[in-house]
Amino acid sequence: MSGNDPFDRIPEKAAFTVTSSTVNGGEAWPEPQYSGAFGVPGGQDISPQLSWSGAPEGTKSYAVTVYDPDAPTQSGFWHWAVANIPASVTELPEGAGTATGEDMPDGAIQLKNDGGTPQFVGAAPPAGHGMHRYFIVVHALDTEDIGVNGDSSPAFLGFNMFSHTLGRAMIIVTAEIE
């Protein structure tokens, strides 16, 4: 499944740094970041803590996405999408991706994930399907408002970001259920 890179068909952009006290690149999600909503034992659908720095000059806002290109669908699976994070914000606390969005920065919008809820939904790869990769990406944008609302899909967010992305910071984590 490693050949299915969601960034292969879009232009490369400047890289900057994203870190997390919740997850480490190349490692598996911790149990709380699995999906209780999809029945994974111990899963709590808790969004990861994220901090970023070094965004390109001209950044006016950020978007954060979590995407599984290895899901057994023709379009992967969007676990989280947040748009219009002000440029002055460089961190989201663990658990910010709740349905209420109370810990989201002012002006930020959570879009519905592919499970249909405007929040973070944790990993839930089908048992026996193999290792899945989760692309946690902070996108630096050249506009304060990317033109989406809470009813927009993460794919529409991606379409709108195509010509507004200045840079990307990425962590890739994994999940597998035997």
The string of pLDDT tens digits covering residues 108-164 is 999 999 999 999 999 999 999 999 999 999 999 999 999 999 999 999 999 999 999
Q: Specify if 110 maps to a domain.
A: yes
Q: Specify if 2 maps to a domain.
A: no
- pLDDT higher than threshold 90 for residue 3: no
Q: Specify if 166 maps to a domain.
A: yes
- pLDDT higher than threshold 80 for residue 1: no
Q: Specify if 5 maps to a domain.
A: no
Q: Which three-class secondary structure state does DSSP give residue 159?
A: helix
Closest CA to 97 of 68, 141, 69, 65: 65
Q: What is the residue range of 78's domain?
A: 16-175
Q: Specify if 109 maps to a domain.
A: yes
Q: Specify if 43 maps to a domain.
A: yes
Phi, psi of 84 (to 5 degrees): 60, 35
Q: Confidence class of residue 2 from pLDDT cuts 50, 70 and 90?
A: low
- pLDDT higher than threshold 70 for residue 62: yes
Q: Specify if 105 maps to a domain.
A: yes
Distances 139 to 9, 16, 26, 106, 149 between C-alpha atoms, Å:
16, 9, 20, 18, 17
- pLDDT higher than threshold 90 for residue 27: yes
Q: Specify if 79 maps to a domain.
A: yes
Closest CA to 14 of 63, 56, 57: 56
CATH number at residue 141: 3.90.280.10
Number of domains within the chain = 1
pTM: 0.97
Q: Which three-class secondary structure state does DSSP give residue 21?
A: coil
Give percent of the chain with pLDDT exceeding 90: 97
**Rounded distance between C-alpha atoms, residue 43 and residue 37, angstroms:** 8
Phi, psi of 34 (to 5 degrees): -85, 170
Q: Across all residues in the chain, what is the average pLDDT?
A: 96
